[in-house]
Structure 1
């Protein structure tokens, strides 16, 4: 839990934490590249990504090895998925399409130990390095305090209920998904549209009111200052697979141009 503790300290000191999504790319070497790029965290995506359990575990271990805080986006607020990710050593989970306080409460129920939630207690797992702590109560208290339970705000219904979602005890972060939200608001793909930015402001206000962290995805660097002004302190920039794709396109174009001009 040292990496998420560092991440929380960075945010608490007023800095912005930078991460990205890991999808499609199965090699755990990705974590090393992110460390070299100065990323603070990685979101291993099992909502849209086609990872099996062993691949998720490998990415988590690599993130820990290279100091890039490993978080896992599950496909929904399902007990098995959430607990497997945390037992494998993820330092937080993200639940997509959280539309209500009930959805948020389910995320908390499965990600926090009693008395806050009902996370199953198995301590001979990767999250303890297979060394059960002597003081289980202290360990569970620390896990509840430090591991991140993140809910995504991606629909107009969620924006309307954002205050009650933010008020749920045990939720640590509200994370805006501007792509899905732009579709829900009738401006698909226009992630810097005034309606989307207004939603970001509502999320930021709710987080400030209830002492939660405000986060958001972004793919256009020009959107970052606007998000920051609205209280966003955790940003996920694009996805590694798109960075690789663009690098290959750029390298191929440069090589082709050099060949044709020789």
Structure 2
């Protein structure tokens, strides 16, 4: 959990951490590209896309090799999926669409070792480099201390309950998903709408009050800048597939221009 520890220290020092969702592109080279571009983390998206477990492990390994924090978004507060992501070596797990204290309690139960939760213990796996620690109790304690359990605020019920949700022990970060939240608030597709930004400001306030990390997704670099001004501490910018698409479109446009195929 060294990279999660660094991530926490980086943010607690007043810095802003940024990353992106890894979508569709399976190559572990993604981690290298992101690291060289200054990104602090990558987020394997296993909610809106299907990932083979071995591909997730390769992404995590690559992130660790390039020293950016490996995170995985699962599809919900489901024990097996959360534990598999963590056993594969993820140092942060993001659980979407939570709306109740019970949802958050399950997230803690499945992601944290006893006594905070009930995460199963198995050391012959990537998360411990396939080695049994000399002191299992210390290993579990350090894991609980450094692992980042992130819950996504994406619906009206969650926004209304932010004060209570932010107070749940064992939850480390709250993260607004402006896409789904914009739909829930009646302004679909408008990630920077005043209604969404009002929820962002409320999230920042309750996170500060409860010692949680405040996060929100960004649809553009300019939005990321605005989020930082609001007090957001970390954000994922779009997704790798969008970055690839943008780069290809830009290159294609320039080629056509150079060949006088367009004005």
TM (norm. structure 2) is 0.97
Instruction: Judge conservation of contact 1:217–1:237 (CA < 8 Å) in 2.
Output: yes
For the residues of structure 1 that align with 2:230 and 2:219, how far apart are their CA atoms? 17
Q: Which residue of 1 aligns with 2:164?
A: 164
Q: Which residue of 1 aligns with 2:246?
A: 246
1:34 matched to 2:34? The reply is yes
For the residues of structure 1 that align with 2:252 and 2:26, how far apart are their CA atoms? 23
Q: Which residue of 2 aligns with 1:226?
A: 226
Query: Which secondary structure state, in structure 1, belongs to the residue aligned with residue 175 of structure 2?
Result: strand
For the residues of structure 1 that align with 2:196 and 2:164, how far apart are their CA atoms? 19
Instruction: Judge conservation of contact 2:224–2:237 (CA < 8 Å) in 1.
Output: no
Q: CA deviation at 1:226?
A: 3.0
Structure 2: runs of 5 or more not aligned = none
Per the alignment, do residues 36 and 114 of structure 1 end up closer, same or farther by CA in structure 2, a change over 3 Å counting? same
For the residues of structure 1 that align with 2:208 and 2:261, how far apart are their CA atoms? 56
Q: Which residue of 1 aligns with 2:80?
A: 80
Q: Which residue of 1 aligns with 2:136?
A: 136
Query: Which secondary structure state, in structure 2, belongs to the residue aligned with residue 39 of structure 1?
Result: coil
For the residues of structure 1 that align with 2:209 and 2:2, how far apart are their CA atoms? 27
Give CA deviations for 1:138-193 in whole Å, capped at 9, x if unaligned.
Answer: 00000000011000000011000111111100000000001110110000111111
For the residues of structure 1 that align with 2:4 and 2:109, how far apart are their CA atoms? 20
**Number of residues of Structure 1 aligned to a counterpart in Structure 2:** 262
Q: Which residue of 2 aligns with 1:25?
A: 25
For the residues of structure 1 that align with 2:190 and 2:111, how far apart are their CA atoms? 33
Q: Which residue of 2 aligns with 1:66?
A: 66
Structure 1: runs of 5 or more not aligned = none
For the residues of structure 2 that align with 1:254 and 1:230, how far apart are their CA atoms? 37
Instruction: Judge conservation of contact 1:176–1:215 (CA < 8 Å) in 2.
Output: yes
For the residues of structure 2 that align with 1:168 and 1:253, how far apart are their CA atoms? 50
Q: Which residue of 2 aligns with 1:236?
A: 236
Q: CA deviation at 1:222?
A: 2.5
For the residues of structure 2 that align with 1:193 and 1:261, how far apart are their CA atoms? 38
Matches within 5 A, 1:62-211: 62-211=62-211
TM (norm. structure 1) is 0.98
Q: CA deviation at 1:230?
A: 2.5
Q: CA deviation at 1:68?
A: 1.4
RMSD: 1.1
For the residues of structure 1 that align with 2:4 and 2:76, how far apart are their CA atoms? 22
Q: Which residue of 2 aligns with 1:45?
A: 45
For the residues of structure 2 that align with 1:16 and 1:27, how far apart are their CA atoms? 27
Instruction: Judge conservation of contact 1:153–1:177 (CA < 8 Å) in 2.
Output: yes
Query: Which secondary structure state, in structure 1, belongs to the residue aligned with residue 76 of structure 2?
Result: coil
